Amino acid sequence: MLKDMHRLVLERPRFGCRRIARMLCDDGWTVNYKRVHRLWKQEGFRVPPKRKKKHYIGTGANACNKRKSSGKNDVWTLDFIHDRLVDGRQFKCLAVLDEYTRESLALTVNRSITGDSVLTELSLLMGQRGIPTAIRSDNGPEFVSIAVRNWLTSLGIGTLFIEPGAPWQNGYVESFNSRFRDEFLNMEIFNNIKEAQILTEKWREDYNEKRPHSALGYMTPSWFAECNGAAGGAECSEAEPAAPLHETRSQATST
């Protein structure tokens, strides 16, 4: 009987002890519930807890090639990047980018970054730079949590969640992440989290202040942002920000 009981539990993992007892009787075993319950406890059987099905809220209409940024502080974009210390321990980096100026607004490094951490970082940035019109991100739990969405709504900030499994819809930050990994993360070895934080911030400053950006006509993001904020900036009018690489490729294919 115990062999049949194991078989039934494997076939019906959502069935409890009473249903398994009934199925054993249907299979021809003469057995009462108390004995089945004793064997159930003895073998350590249990019904796995119910798992909530994730309900994604992203849509293709929020893709960066459909809802384009029209100016500085119009759309910020968020994403996480992961890397490891020299001892193998993982750390996370929250990247915040202004899609129009390509400025790296923040690269927050820590062992763990929660939804509350995201709120704190965004609050600090908005105090320094002002409030964006909208924020684009994927459906990560740190971004779609009710607390984060309610806070953004209270400030009048739109949320642009992309479709699940479609990172190209957040192409600006994906392009930035690729440069960040290729030019920095893959070139450095971090002994501890403090070292990773210091070196990452130095790289962010260099990226904004000294690194020419091809999509900005080889201006630096900071220079482009300064020109963009000045009335009648001729240099900026000649260097409109280019579309992300994935969008350029799709247009070339269609033609």
pLDDT tens digits, one per residue of 78-97: 999 999 999 999 999 999 99
Confidence of residue 28 (pLDDT cuts 50, 70, 90): confident
Question: pLDDT per residue over 244-254, tens digit each?
Answer: 645 544 443 44
- Note the pTM of the prediction, 2 decimals: 0.71
- Look up residue 132 and give its two tokens: 């964006």
What are 90's strand-pairing partners? Answer: 84
Give the separation between CA 202 and CA 190, rounded to whole angstroms: 14
Question: pLDDT per residue over 181-233, tens digit each?
Answer: 999 999 999 999 999 999 999 999 999 999 999 999 999 999 999 987 643 33
Look over the chain and give the mean of its residue pLDDT values, rounded to a whole number: 86
Query: DSSP letters along 148-197, please?
Result: HHHHHHHTT-EEEEPPTT-GGGGHHHHHHHHHHHHHTGGG---SSHHHHH
Q: Is 135 in contact with 159 (CB distance < 8 Å)?
A: yes
Instruction: Report the first-to-last Cα separation within the chain, whole angstroms.
Output: 69
- Predicted pLDDT at 145: 84
Q: If one looks up domain 60-254 in CATH, what number appears?
A: 3.30.420.10
